[in-house]
Amino acid sequence: MLFKSTMNLIFDIGNSSTKVALFDGPKKITSFPTRHYSCAKIGQFLQDYKIEKAIISSVRNIPDFIYDLLTVNIPYTFVLSPKSRLPFAVNYETPETLGSDRLAAVAGARFRFPGENILIIDAGSAVTFDYLSGNTYLGGNISPGLSMRFKALHKFTGKLPLISTSEKFPSPGTSTAGAITAGVINGMIFEINEYKRQFEEKYKDGKVIITGGDSGYLSGKIAGEVVFLPDIVIEGLNQLLEYNAEKA
């Protein structure tokens, strides 16, 4: 895909935070996560850069002021949805329920590794396992993420404490806190390793990508080769923005 020299704004609203990114063609200029955004903050960003196109992706409801601010100030603003044009086929029985973050990750993986078989692991609030074969998205699985697993053990039991991730922990655990830590983290790693093993058994030359908020923590703990691409979702959103702008 050929890019013109224009600035693209990426607004990726996730479950726990929002990532804002700026691209000049395929090159990322800047990106930053934020939990708090306002008209003034976004307005200042729009003043600092000449932006020609924008894409909004959200797994939640999009605040009206964000949509209004972008559409008023940017010539082309595109909201990604399951009904959007995609540069790949989607083999999914309920495409209307497919999260925009998953579509974006697939688009980014396709751009990075065109024509290949790919397993995309997005380790965020939930962990998703999505499969791309050539130019066809085959579907995927969804499981609770690390933080969700820790919180669930605390919330749905009477005495188990709320624990967070740790670089070092005994296994088997020698305390309740250690047992929870080892159980949750090892459980996630074992789960990822088995998905990876089954995928590589079927696709000998396939690529395994990991992204998402917990991907940096998990990537070094996974067996074998895995491609760590923390920006694959925003790269995919940039691709989808360009693709739909060309078709507009």
The answer to whether residues 79 and 103 touch, using CB atoms and an 8 Å cutoff, is no
The position carrying tokens 């908020």 is 213
Q: Which of 17, 123, 84 is nearest to 242 (CA)?
A: 84
How confident is the model over 46-55, as a mean pLDDT? 88
pLDDT digits (tens, 9 = 90+) for 195-247: 999 999 999 999 999 999 999 999 999 999 999 999 999 999 999 999 999 87
Which pLDDT score is estimated for 2? 45
pLDDT at 169 over 90: no
Query: Are the CB atoms for 120 and 104 separated by under 8 Å?
Result: no
Place domain 114-231 in its CATH homologous superfamily: ATPase, nucleotide binding domain (3.30.420.40)
Give backbone dihedrals phi and psi of 211, rounded to 5 degrees, phi first: -145, -175
What are the boundaries of each domain within the chain? 7-90+235-247, 114-231
- DSSP for 69-81? HHHHHSSEEEE--
C-alpha dihedral (192, 195, 197, 200), degrees to nearest 10: -120
Q: Does domain 7-90+235-247 have CATH number 3.30.420.40?
A: yes
Report the C-alpha gap between 159 and 187 in whole angstroms: 21
Lowest mean pLDDT among 4-18, 54-68, 76-90: 4-18
User: Does this chain's domain 7-90+235-247 share its CATH topology with 114-231?
Assistant: yes
Q: Does the pLDDT value for residue 44 go beyond 90?
A: no
Kindly name the residue from 12, 101, 122, 130 that is annotated as catalytic.
101
Q: Percent helix, strand and coil across the chain, each rounded to 5? A: 40, 25, 35
Mean pLDDT of 63-80: 90
Q: Which amino acid is at 27?
A: K
HSE-CB for 26 with a 13 A CA cutoff: 9
pLDDT classification of 168: cutoffs 50, 70, 90: confident
One-letter amino acid at 40 equals A
Stated pTM of the model: 0.91
User: For residue 163, how many other CB atoms are within 10 A of its CB?
Assistant: 21
68 in active site? no
The mean pLDDT value for 34-49 works out to: 78
pLDDT computed for residue 66 by the predictor = 86
- Residue 82: what pLDDT? 84
